[in-house]
Homo-oligomer: A and B are copies of this chain.
Amino acid sequence: MRSQYLPGTLVAVAVALASTVQALWPIPTSYQDGKIGVEIKRSDFMIKSNVTSSSVINAAIERYQYLIEHEYFESPYDFNESTLKTSGMIYSLQVDVQSAQDVLDLETDESYTLEVPLEGKAVISAKTPFGAVRGLESFSQLIVSNTGRKIIKNAPIKIVDSPKFQHRGILLDTSRNFYHIDSILRTLDAMAYNKLNTLHWYAISPFSWPIESKVHPEMNEKGAYSLDMRYSYDDVKKVINYAKNRAIRVMPEFDMPGNTFIVGEAHPEIMSCLNKQPNWDKFAAEPPSGQLNIADPRAVTFAFDILSEYSRLFVDLGFHMGGGSLNLECWRSDPTIELYVRDHPGESVESLMVGWYTQMIGKIGDLGKIPHLREEAVLNFNLTAKNTTILQAWVSEDSVSKIVDKGYRVIASPWNRYYLDCGHGSWLLNFEGSSWCDPFKGWQQIYSYNPLTNITDPEKQKLVLGGEVALWSAQSDETTVDRYLWPRASAFAEIMWSGSTDPVTNTTRDLARVAPRLTEHRFRMVARGIMAEPIAPLWCVRHPETCMHAVAA
């Protein structure tokens, strides 16, 4: 009845969208389907693998066996269907894995193939357990509920799939406000539903130090919001293990030497410009001000202690040492630094800073880790870092190409596309203005950004490892995390996994066609307990052609 408004060409689009492709998010590299509905045998549907020794595989099979049995998801596009027709029956899913080896790093192979026949056994083939995890997710997304049955609408199906980028992450700040472990685990679930593979855990900010430290227990004692609002070693290990079972790395960040006001709660003696008020803006990007005193050997020792301890606690190969939003005036105004520079000809605040970074990058390397660092030290202050260092671009979209031009690997996080907390008013208590990073980043802006923009050399393109969306938490905590992240991080996830170009048409994917697929995925996430927000009236996702930007007559 509602199709009366569909112009001819759009009918074709709508029909195409109604195929099962729209059930898959992110969209696979290669996808073929048929027209036959098949039913999933419910009472004893079995998932089996040729590998029985992999804890990752075993956990994934258990998880998806449960999900397929319990999930109840009716596609919003089947709203005026009663019983969808099926003929064949799928009895089981075979997961073939070449190797049980389960190292999760930038080289990990996440590719898989998935075949769903008209009858009998579906098959996933993967090189690694992590590829199998991705294939299981795709299989689960093919299934919809219909009149008491679980069905796949368009068999036979053949998928050949692998990610475009190897680093597909979310930065989650659990320090400005606290997140109970459950919401971190739920976020990992949602990341797996979107084939994201890196949780960048920003757990130490100017505002709190919630991570347990055995070397510096005073940090957690004085820096956590309360005894309840902290992450013990066991909590961290639980998160890491939970993430690994979902093919997700957990990379910690100790942001320094700026953004370290909280260190002053226990160690004011190693701090510069601690809590300058009320003109904190001369010394920091946000209050309260405070940077480690880069001329003080005790600050170096403290930083080394933390790097060493947390490098052991977090098993991931990556270690992020922060480095954003530095303020040189903070150090210039510190009498001890002023004195140090006067006493050491040739030294300056800039050279001290470069020296600091060089030391920290060296230390992280000595600990067997890959240093990660925000862009400023290299792009603004001429730090020459070891070329294994991975830089996080955030200041502008142009930073990505500037970084690869210098030969470094890069993770794209431009604030104007990927900072998900922006556009939510100011958290300064007496300020009626907007946030520094206004406006809100809609899913369309996120989806339309291609990290490879202006990088044509294939060798340089390889240096772009991927990207991270960021949820800074001045105005977020466990009550809001789902909605800040989803489905906007899903929009990001598809670009990361599938790239910006539709391989069939060889053109940039069309937002109008993406939107209904994104909405279906959003409803599936909601069905799985992720409180993802709606992106438009349901009318519009059912009738996309009626909800487009106006075209001048």
Shortest beta-carbon distance from A516 to chain B in Å: 8
A515 and B432 in contact, given A5-B277, A546-B288 (Cβ under 8 angstroms): no
Q: Which of A25-33, A42-50, A319-327, A418-426 contacts B (4 or more CB under 8 A)?
A: A418-426
- Please tell me which one of the listed residues B538, B541, B553 contacts residue A208 in the complex, with CB atoms under 8 A apart: B538
Assuming the contacts A429-B548, A477-B534, A526-B479, asked whether A207 and B539 have C-beta atoms less than 8 A apart, the reply is yes
> A448: CB under 8 A from chain B?
yes
- Interface assignment of A316: CB less than 8 Å from any CB of chain B: no
Within 8 A of B (CB), among A443-497: 443-445, 448, 473-477, 479-480, 482-483
With both beta carbons as reference points, the residue of chain B lying nearest to A543 in the complex is identified as B288
A173-200 vs B, CB cutoff 8 Å, 1 = contact: the mask equals 0001110000000000000000000000
Contacts of A427 in B (CB 8 A): 535-537, 540, 547
Contact present for B425 and A208 (CB under 8 Å): no
- The quantity of this chain's copies bound in the complex is 2
Shortest C-beta distance, A54 to chain B (Å), equals: 35
Is the pair B423, A440 in contact by a Cβ cutoff of 8 Å?
yes
Q: Is A335 an interface residue (CB 8 A)?
A: no
| B residues less than 8 Å from A287 (CB atoms) | 546-548, 550
- Residue A504 at the B interface, CB < 8 A? no
Asked if A407 is at the interface of the complex by the 8 Å CB criterion, the answer is no
Among A278-286, A367-375, A377-385, A386-394, the stretch that binds chain B is: A278-286
Q: How distant is the Cα of A551 from the Cα of B276 in the complex, in angstroms?
A: 11
A511 interface residue per 8 A CB criterion: yes
Compute how far the CA of A530 lies from the CA of B450 in the bound complex, rounded to whole angstroms. 38
User: Known: A5-B275, A226-B79. Is A440-B424 also a contact (CB below 8 A)?
Assistant: yes
Q: Is A306's CB within 8 Å of the partner chain B?
A: no
**A424, B422: Cα distance in complex, Å:** 10
Q: Nearest-CB distance from A141 to chain B (Å)?
A: 19
- Chain A residues 193 to 245 lying within 8 A of chain B, measured CB to CB, are 205-208, 222, 225-226
A contact residues, total (Cβ < 8 Å): 82
Q: Mark A128-170, 1 if CB is under 8 A from B, else 0.
A: 0000000000000000000000000000000000000000000
Contact A424 B438 (CB under 8 A): no
Contacts of A512 on B, CB cut-off 8 Å?
A: 429-430
- Select A534's contact among B430, B440, B479, B543, beta carbons within 8 Å: B479
Q: In the complex, which of the residues B278, B281, B483, B544 contacts A480, with contact meaning CB atoms closer than 8 Å? A: B483
Chain B nearest Cβ from A484, distance in angstroms: 9
- CB pair A439 B439 closer than 8 Å: yes
Check B551 against A279 for contact (C-beta < 8 Å): yes
Q: Which residues of B contact A534 (CB under 8 A)?
A: 177, 475-477, 479-480
Give A539 Cβ to nearest chain B Cβ, in Å.
4
Chain B neighbourhood of A548, CB < 8 A: 277-278, 287, 428-431
> A130 to nearest B CB, angstroms?
30
Is A15 an interface position by the 8 A CB rule?
no
* A536–B425 CA distance with the chains assembled, in angstroms: 10
Please measure, in the bound complex, the distance between the C-alpha atom of A552 and the C-alpha atom of B275, giving whole angstroms. 15
Q: A2-B265, A5-B288, A548-B430 are in contact. Are A537 and B177 (CB under 8 A)?
A: yes
Asked if A549 CB lies within 8 Å of chain B CBs, one says yes
Q: Are B440 and A425 in contact (CB under 8 A)?
A: yes
Determine which of B2, B483, B553 lies in contact with A483 in the assembled complex, contact meaning CB atoms within 8 Å: B483
Q: Is A442 an interface residue (CB 8 A)?
A: yes
Is A429 a contact partner of B547 (Cβ separation < 8 A)? yes
